[in-house]
Amino acid sequence: MSEITTKDGTHIFYKDWGTGQPIVFHHGWPLSADDWDAQMLFFLSKGFRVIAHDRRGHGRSTQTDTGNEMDTYAADVAALAAHLNLKNAVHIGHSTGGGEVARYVAQHGAGRVAKAVLIGAVPPIMVKSATNPGGLPMEVFDGFRRQLAANRAQFYKDVPFPFYGYNREGVKPSEGIMANWWRQGMMGGIKAHYDCIKAFSETDFTEDLKKIDVPVLILHGDDDQIVPIADSALLSAELVKQGTLKVYKGLPHGMCTTHPELINQDLLEFVRG
C-alpha cells in the first residue's frame, strides 16, 4: 500500500497511476480517494498521471485525533507533492477538497502547480456571519455534529440523498452509489470527521483565493443542496485572478459521480487548454 509519513507520524495513503502531466484529486468530506474512480480511470486513459490521497482521518490514512484542519491538510498535500516530486500539476478538489486545493495552491504550490479546479467547493467560507450574510447558519453545522455523534452510520445513510439529488422528483437513486458513499464514510475516523465539519464550514479561504496566480476552473451545480452556489462558486469566481466559472443547470453536489460524462470532458478541455 502506497503511503507517506508526515512530520507528526500520520500515514497518508495515496494512489499514483500512469505517467505524463500529473493530476491530483482531493476528495470531499467524509469520503476517500475512491470517490474519484470515474475521473481517475478517464484521465489515466487519456495519458495523464493520476494521483489521489485519503485525507488524514479519512479512508485508509491514519485516524488522527489531531491536525484535522485546513492548514495541516494542505501541509500533508505539500509533503505528498514533495515526495512524488510533482511539477506542472493540476489540482482538482471537490467540496472540502476544493478548500484543501485553495489553501495548498496559495500557500505551498509555487513552482509545482499549473492549474486548479474547484468543484462544488466550500470556498470562500460556508458559515453565516456579519461579513458573510449569505452563508449557512451555524445551527446547520451543529446539527451535522449532533447527528454524527449520535449515529454516524445512520447519518451516512441519509446524507447521500441530498448529496446526489436523489431527493428530487423524478430522480432515481442508485443503490450502488449510495452504498459506496456509506462505505467510504465509515472507513474513516469519527473524531477526524467531527473536526472536519468545523474545517470545511468555518475556514475562510478569501485570502487564499486572492493569492492564487494560476488559472482556476470553478464548476458548480445550481441545484447543489450541500454547498449552495450563491455563497460559494459565484463568490469565488470574483476573487481569483484567472477564474472561469461554469454552472450546470439542475445538477447536484455529487455531479462528478452522477454525471461524469459531462464533468470529465469539461475537465479535460481545461487541463489541455
Q: What is the CATH number of the domain that holds 165?
A: 3.40.50.1820
Residue 189 included in any domain: yes
Intervals of the chain under pLDDT 50: none
Overall residue count recorded for the chain in this entry: 273
pLDDT of the residue at 1: 77
Q: Which of 195, 208, 224, 231 is catalytic?
A: 224
Q: Which listed residue (32, 61, 95, 201) is catalytic? A: 95
Whole-angstrom distance, CA of residue 245 vs CA of residue 100: 19
**Given the DSSP bridges, would you call strands 11-17 and 49-53 parallel, antiparallel or unpaired?**
antiparallel
From the list 26, 53, 91, 253, the catalytic residue is 253
- In this structure, is residue 237 part of a structural domain? yes
pLDDT score of 262 = 98
Contacts of 41 (CB under 8 A, 6+ apart): none
Domain ranges, residue 206: 8-272
Q: Is residue 195 annotated as a catalytic residue, yes or no?
A: no
CA distance 63 to 13: 11
∠ CA 101-247-205, rounded to 5°:
30
Q: What is the DSSP letter of 229?
A: G
Residue 1 lies in a domain: no
Closest to 203 in 3D by CA, of 129, 134, 264, 143 = 129
What DSSP letter does each residue of 152-206 carry, written as one string?
HHHHHHHTHHHHTTTTSTTPPP-HHHHHHHHHHHHHS-HHHHHHHHHHHHH---H
Question: Grid cell 458548480 — which residue?
Answer: 220
Q: Is residue 134 part of a domain?
A: yes
DSSP lists the bridge partners of residue 50 as 17, 23
In a domain, 2, yes or no: no
d(CA 35, CA 217): 20
**pLDDT at residue 213 in the model:** 97
Provide the whole-model pTM. 0.98
Give the pLDDT confidence of 214-269 residue by residue, as tens digits. Answer: 999 999 999 999 999 999 999 999 999 999 999 999 999 999 999 999 999 999 99
Q: Domain for residue 3, yes or no?
A: no
Q: Residues near 116 by Cβ (< 8 Å), separated by ≥ 6?
A: 90, 91, 92, 93, 101, 102, 105, 109, 212, 214, 215, 216, 217
pLDDT over 90, % of the chain: 100
Q: How far apart are CA 132 and CA 127, in angstroms?
A: 7
For cell 505528498, the residue is 80
Domain tally for the chain? 1
249 within domain boundaries: yes
Radius of gyration of the chain (CA): 17
**146 falls within a domain:** yes
Enter the C-alpha cell of residue 215.
Answer: 488559472
95 among known catalytic residues: yes
